[in-house]
Amino acid sequence: MPETAMLVLRDLLLLRYGDLKRRLTRRLGCSELAGDALQDTWLRLESREPVENLRDPGAYLMRTAINAAYDQQRNQTRLVSASEIEAVLEDEPDSAPGPVETVAARAELQALIAAMERLPERRRQILVMVRWEHLPQREVAERLGVSLRTVEQELKKAHDYCASRLGRSSARQAEGE
Q: Which of 3-17, 48-62, 139-153 has the highest mean pLDDT?
A: 139-153
21 domain residue, yes or no: yes
Total domains in the chain come to: 2
Which of 76, 107, 136 is at the close of a domain? 76
List, in order, residues 6 or more apart from 94 with CB less than 8 Å away. none
94 domain residue, yes or no: no
- For residues 32 and 25, give the distance between their C-alpha atoms in angstroms, rounded to a whole number: 8
Give 43's pLDDT tier (boundaries 50, 70, 90).
confident
Which of 24, 43, 76 is at the close of a domain? 76
* DSSP string of 5-40, one letter each residue: HHHHHHHHHHHTHHHHHHHHHHHHS-HHHHHHHHHH
Q: Residue range 72-92: average pLDDT?
A: 71
Q: Residue range 131-146: average pLDDT?
A: 94
One domain, residues 111 and 144: yes
62 domain residue, yes or no: yes
Give 86's pLDDT tier (boundaries 50, 70, 90).
confident
Q: Which residue segment(s) compose the domain that 10 sits in?
A: 2-76
32 domain residue, yes or no: yes
Residue 132 confidence (pLDDT) above 80: yes
C-beta of residue 111 within 8 angstroms of C-beta of residue 165: yes
83 domain residue, yes or no: no
Residue 124 confidence (pLDDT) above 50: yes
| pLDDT (0 to 100) of residue 91 | 67
One domain, residues 123 and 167: yes
What integer best gives the mean pLDDT of the chain?
Answer: 84
One domain, residues 153 and 114: yes
One domain, residues 69 and 103: no
| pLDDT (0 to 100) of residue 147 | 96
Element (H, E) at 117: helix 99-117
81 domain residue, yes or no: no
85 domain residue, yes or no: no
CATH of the domain at 158: 1.10.10.10
Residue 90 confidence (pLDDT) above 80: no
| pLDDT (0 to 100) of residue 80 | 64
92 domain residue, yes or no: no
Rounded to two decimals, what is the model's pTM? Answer: 0.43
Q: What is the pLDDT of residues 6-29, one digit of tens each?
A: 788 888 888 888 998 999 899 888
- For residues 47 and 40, give the distance between their C-alpha atoms in angstroms, rounded to a whole number: 10
